[in-house]
Structure 1
Amino acid sequence: MDSLTQIILGAAVGEAVLGKKIGNKAMLYGAIAGTIPDLDVFSSFFTDTVTALETHRGFTHSIFFSVLFAPILAFIITRFEAYKNIKDWSWLFFWTFVTHPILDAQTTWGTQLFWPLDLRLAFKNIFVIDPLYTLPFLVFLILAMRQKKGAKKRRFYNNLGLGISSAYLILTLILKGFSYQKFTTALKLKNIDYRSMHTKPTPLNSILWSANVDTENAYLIGFTSFLDSQPIVFSSHPKNHELLGDLVHHPKMQRMIAISKGWYTINKEEDQLYFNDLRFGTMSSSADATNFVFKYKIEVTPNGTPFFIEVPKDKLEGIQLLSDLWIRIKGN
């Protein structure tokens, strides 16, 4: 999830664990701890693209990290804070650390919660930025913050924020199930044979959902809104995996394919190959779109090693996509 949401979650969890004893400091330290797992993004400054992608939401988003670093930070904090109970501080840091990846596991990228096991949890039931999740949560956190540390209303507001946000996550799982059923029905009516399908919400909402469908030679992308009145239309994106040639056998290419979970297409533009991670869709809602959200230029060193350069995203294209999606949310 986005940084603001993780700050709010961390603050609310910190308050739930220790707010009654140390007041707003629990929110402050919870908010700080809630952002610490995302410090793994700095690995991109020291490693290549593939390694950075493998590292992201890995070790720092694991239960192992939470267990290891919670008591360490608790020990450090008690060196200068008046409240000296290391056990209580450890619980604050543990729960703020571990709830961060649990929330991230609901998104498309997912998390390696059980690192070092090579298992990435990605339930894909909420977009990384969802105002319906974040804003009510923020309102109740502010209301709690304005109360005295021992006030019943403080705990009530904070628990209400945690409860409503958690209920919304459950709702998105239910909506995901309904959308999956709509997509499977549409594929059956169109007599489309497919191997597998993944569904996910589109940006900033849980009303409009998209599906990636794996067929023999192409991936299909479709959209359905709960306000639709017309049948689902699928766009086709050829896999073009054969364009990789012998590069497909290189270990680094295999790592990139593993990162995409096999959901990738290759396209060629003016003799330049591009690797498209299909899981996150395109920067346009049009059927013939080829500019994927995560698109990488494939370069090859003289010794035959491929390396990847992420293609920058066009802000105007992103704004247009949001405009198109807003129209599409209201139904076809």
Structure 2
Amino acid sequence: MDSLTQIVLGAAVGEAVLGKKVGNKAMLYGAIAGTIPDLDVLSRYFADTVTAIEWHRGFSHSIFFSMLFSPVFGWLISKLERKQNVAWQDWSWLMFWGLFTHPVLDAFTTWGTQLFWPFDVRLAFQSIFVIDPLYTLPFLVLLILAMRRKKTDPKRERYNRLGLSISTGYLAATVVLKGMAYQRFEMALEAQGIAYSDIDTRPTPFNTMLWTANVDTEDAYLIANFSFFDEEQIAFQAYPKNHELLGELAANDKVKRLEAITGGWFTITKRDGMLFFNDLRFGPISLDPNESQFAFSYKLEENGGKVKVEEMPKMRGDAKKLLRELWLRMWGN
């Protein structure tokens, strides 16, 4: 999830663990704990593109990381906050839950997380977008209300608990909505007589009313959108896999690692003599049926037997256009 959401969650968890003892400092250190796992994004400055992608939401988002570093951070805080008269074990418990709930929440997003690192298992329930105002805003408001109360005020605990309950309830609701959307995509495929081997569904940005499905067929991937306000039949757009365009590059280590990252959901396109590896999990940059560019696309360049992978930049104008299209599409076809 986005940084603000993780800060809010971490602060609320910190409050639940130590708020009665240290007041707003529990929220402060909880917020810090909720931020720490995402420092793995710094890897982009010293690692190649593929390695940085692999490291993102890897080690720092694992149970192992939470267990290993929570005592270290807890001990450091106990030294900084000697006047609080709180044992380092209590600070460690706060840090553990702040660190651990971060990847648990991330597991519900499209990118997912390697919660059980070093085992090669990525959890991605794909039921909530990385930024969802309906999850974050009520949570934030209730956290601020709790923050404004004294640590001994019963309303402080009630506000915080309500924020945790509402956000958790909404997260559970997204799983139910995902199941309902998945069923509608299945029904549409059956009604249209489309043979397929797999379906991958996810919410579109900032909402859980409009959903996208990737469908694996023999020679192409189909992409479709469904809104709970739709009245017309779901339309599927085909994108040729073109995996054969990779040629000998298909055996390259970096390319194979990219394939593993996408879970096999990728297409290859060729423009101006260059090959592009398109990650289908995040869809095209437009709802236009003729759109051929994707949100996450990587240029593959071979030079002297080595392959360079370069992530294509995202244009702000494309994002604004897509958001306008999604807003209109969300209200039905």
Give the TM-score, by structure 2 length: 0.99
The within-5 A match list for 1:29-48 is 29-48=29-48
Q: Which runs of 5+ in 2 are unaligned?
A: none
Aligned counterparts of 1:80 and 1:103: Cα–Cα separation in 2: 29
Aligned counterparts of 2:80 and 2:141: Cα–Cα separation in 1: 31
Alignment pair present for 1:123 and 2:113: no
Shifted more, 256-265 versus 99-108: the winner is 256-265
- The superposition leaves residues 225-271 of structure 1 with CA deviations (integer Å, 9 ceiling, x where unpaired) of 00000000011100000000011011221111111111100000011
Given residue 137 of structure 2, which amino acid in structure 1 is its aligned partner? Answer: L
Alignment pair present for 1:195 and 2:212: no
Q: Which runs of 5+ in 1 are unaligned?
A: none
CA shift for structure 1 position 291: 1.2
**Cross-structure match for 1:61:** 61
CA shift for structure 1 position 79: 1.1
**Cross-structure match for 1:146:** 148
**Cross-structure match for 2:274:** 272
- The superposition leaves residues 128-148 of structure 1 with CA deviations (integer Å, 9 ceiling, x where unpaired) of 000000000000000000100
**Cross-structure match for 2:290:** 288
SS of the counterpart of 1:232? Answer: coil
Aligned counterparts of 1:239 and 1:281: Cα–Cα separation in 2: 14
CA shift for structure 1 position 123: 0.1
Given residue 151 of structure 2, which amino acid in structure 1 is its aligned partner? Answer: K
**Cross-structure match for 2:309:** 308
Given residue 36 of structure 1, which amino acid in structure 2 is its aligned partner? Answer: I
The within-5 A match list for 1:1-332 is 1-81=1-81, 82-83=83-84, 84-302=86-304, 304-332=305-333
Given residue 164 of structure 1, which amino acid in structure 2 is its aligned partner? Answer: I
CA shift for structure 1 position 42: 0.4
CA shift for structure 1 position 87: 1.3
RMSD of aligned residue pairs (Cα, Å):
0.6
CA shift for structure 1 position 62: 0.3
Tell me if structure 2 keeps the 8 A contact 1:252–1:305: no
CA shift for structure 1 position 301: 2.3
Aligned counterparts of 2:255 and 2:298: Cα–Cα separation in 1: 12
Tell me if structure 2 keeps the 8 A contact 1:294–1:311: yes
Given residue 172 of structure 1, which amino acid in structure 2 is its aligned partner? Answer: T
- The superposition leaves residues 170-216 of structure 1 with CA deviations (integer Å, 9 ceiling, x where unpaired) of 10000000000000000001100001001100000000000000001
Aligned counterparts of 2:106 and 2:46: Cα–Cα separation in 1: 24
**Percent identity among equivalent residues?**
60
Which structure 1 residue ranges, 4+ long, deviate > 2 Å from structure 2?
Answer: none
Aligned counterparts of 1:121 and 1:297: Cα–Cα separation in 2: 27
